[in-house]
Chains A and B, each alone.
Chain A
Amino acid sequence: AQTVTQSQPEMSVQEAETVTLSCTYDTSESDYYLFWYKQPPSRQMILVIRQEAYKQQNATENRFSVNFQKAAKSFSLKISDSQLGDAAMYFCAYRPPTTSGTYKYIFGTGTRLKVLA
């Protein structure tokens, strides 16, 4: 069964510094998608960034980038120049291929990021 593991329940970062959130996953598939979602306090969960498994190039969205290591099944999120608005719960998610016969997205347990002024 596919699993997603976020081993850091909580992280802190100083404003303007860089922080990396870890995510590992387990799958026997070769074609899939990985996502990082952000859930600010009492607000809606939104997409931060996504990565196609067949692409070797790491995805980047402004201050957010990923380090995708397919062989190691690792998908970490790097936040550069951290801002107070980055404080949130971050979830890593895996989406199996449709050929697997499922539409299920599998989420990790989340990492709470605190940004210190």
Chain B
Amino acid sequence: DVKVTQSSRYLVKRTGEKVFLECVQDMDHENMFWYRQDPGLGLRLIYFSYDVKMKEKGDIPEGYSVSREKKERFSLILESASTNQTSMYLCASTPGTALANVLTFGAGSRLTVL
């Protein structure tokens, strides 16, 4: 019954490595989001996408890029991982543009950069 799937629950990477975090939703949602969750800071938006190949920067896009080649898949890319990118990453999706739309979250990907 999983609707938003994040490919990796736990990752350990080295500084400077390129990291891909994958997110797939099976609900035909238009909008997809990548958040970063840190203690005391809540959820901060990195990027979101409202359509295939469309993306907008969130509040903390520096050091990250995204790719949305297919409607169901939204990837977060760390071109050169740094220790300050150690965090929990949450993917979420919503349908359409209605105000009532509820975010459906994935289980999260906990990334440790050494």
Contact = CB atoms under 8 A, between A and B. Distances in A.
Contact of B40 (A9, A31, A35, A91): A9
Contact of B107 (A43, A93, A98): A43
A91 B42 contact: yes
Contact of B42 (A33, A50, A104, A107): A107
Nearest to A105: B103
Interface residues of B, number: 26
B107 A109 contact: no
A44 B99 CA distance: 22
A98 B100 contact: no
A105 B56 CA distance: 13
Given A103-B31, A108-B42, A95 B99 contact: yes
Contacts of B101: 95
A47 B41 contact: no
Interface in A6-54: 6, 9, 31-33, 35, 37, 43-47, 50, 52
15 contacts: A37-B103, A37-B105, A43-B107, A44-B106, A45-B105, A46-B105, A47-B103, A52-B99, A52-B100, A91-B42, A98-B97, A103-B94, A105-B45, A109-B40, A109-B41
Interface of A: 6, 9, 31-33, 35, 37, 43-47, 50, 52, 91, 93, 95, 97-98, 103-105, 107-110
